[in-house]
Structure 1
């Protein structure tokens, strides 16, 4: 198996990190460009935001398919195919003559990219030793965050320098380069054993997970918080494109550097979760999110930036604890339990455009923020329930 401080470890970890970076850079690449697409294709803000929400939905439902495919055909093969499909999708988008073709290309792209995180995490769990796995997962998650941040930043800057079609062509070229890196660096699987696809077992496992209140509440938390997070970051671009800000596309892309706060808080969340109850950590993250929402009412660009940093810190702090909660309390089939969390997470994020689109068109930025507080009120109630369950589990364990 792959162990730390070996050439094979660094080759495999670099390759998997590159695949993660490629995935999330492509997935979130159009987000700073939504106001531009609204004008160019003459569509509403809500319709333009489908370029983010619909691919997230496709990604969420595609996890089930790729879990079975990677079990049957191997992790490396799925990673290679998924990266190839994702790159083709980016090329389709760059040449799209209209909004409908662009949205179709985004759906095709997301359906391809979904195979990378599923097969990548499965590869790590099978091929790495226990101590190497911890390091590899940390690097992999960091590359997820780096990919999402860099994709958004590059799209805004490249579009300002050239145009949006050129920006997508550059992204396609970078995706091809990352594909070649992964192809030549990722070691062949040694521990993989093909498993037949058993739909009945998969459906029963997921039914059990949803029936477990310890897991079901975590799925609600993950989905609703990502709905809020994606909604804020989608419609902040429209808010900052109007009075009194009127910021450029490049600046809208640079906004996503605030994601760096999420990389920091994800690391801190793991350590905090070892010292305090996870629900207490979730409440702390949600408190940061609430403060950040209030700060956006101040019509000052520096305050908006500070708010986004705080929002990222709080969101990822909570998300890290709610996702690890699933692994902690899943009684069996932990892989499918975590997969169901990701499905809830991305489907929740995909609904953000619809929910916030109505609020934005009807009430403007104030409606977006008040709607966010409504979401936080729901997740607060759910977290209170989780705390009671956590206290009961602690009491039972001590008895």
Structure 2
């Protein structure tokens, strides 16, 4: 089968959706299919316009970006490979680049699949202008995608619920195809001792993994840790991920807990596994639906049998069930977040049970790739 995946970014751009498209494309190539990815040249640095990466044929096309927003990337050219594909699989109806590529495929009678994500997620964005204009744009693109394309997939059960309840889609035609997890995360040996030794860590700690962005709620997590440290002596917060650390370091100094919060920045996949293994729990304190459509870091924590403490935003409460495989708290509620962390840090048996239950809720990329292939053929 000749499969084409479409998104405005591809590797070397690193992000949740970019990583998911890359993993799915490479897994389908390993299964023996001819797999291509069409992306824009944005973020590609000095990479060639055409190359093969891990068995996937990558095509980068010229595009323009409106107002600096990645979702408003408009293609200026369309590769000929689209015309004779068996399926063109687009990722995110919010991406103008993806929508235009799939419309081009339809004009050439090629079967199309849209993987919806972040449906109406801008409705709670803290920027009033983004909330007003962005939500109208997103709603328009969602309706257009439901009208024009052939196969509808979602990464989040939240998105499926909205597509059926608000947009009138038939639930039987909306297929839940979440992101998978790598074999490395599922099968690598325990690396917690190595991580502790390499970083000279002896304390119990909770872990944050993700971008350092205001909508990720890191400020509230740091404030919660001041309360935690009054109750659980010698406890730590470790923060892993790219972004500007300075405002958060300033906050730890202001709160007097600078020695209780460790910023590691970007780390290798192997060190991330070690950090998860040695942690007591993963904490995801996000404050906006937009940034948590299908947070892969939850799957990563469950792959290492770690419980998740998270806020009730986006797709999180459709995956994390309170006191079943993690603990849910309201966004921006510092006290509730602190109490959840204290509960996990002081009850190791509860932490073990919640983490073990989470493991059963994830699938490998091989399983997800095969599910998508069945839908293409169907």
Q: TM-score range by the shorter chain?
A: under 0.3
**Higher relative contact order (Cα pairs below 8 Å, separated by 6+ residues):** 1
**Is the strand fraction higher in 1 or 2?**
2
TM-score by length of 2: 0.28
- Hey, which of these two has a bigger chunk of helix by percent? 1
Normalization by structure 1: what TM-score? Answer: 0.27
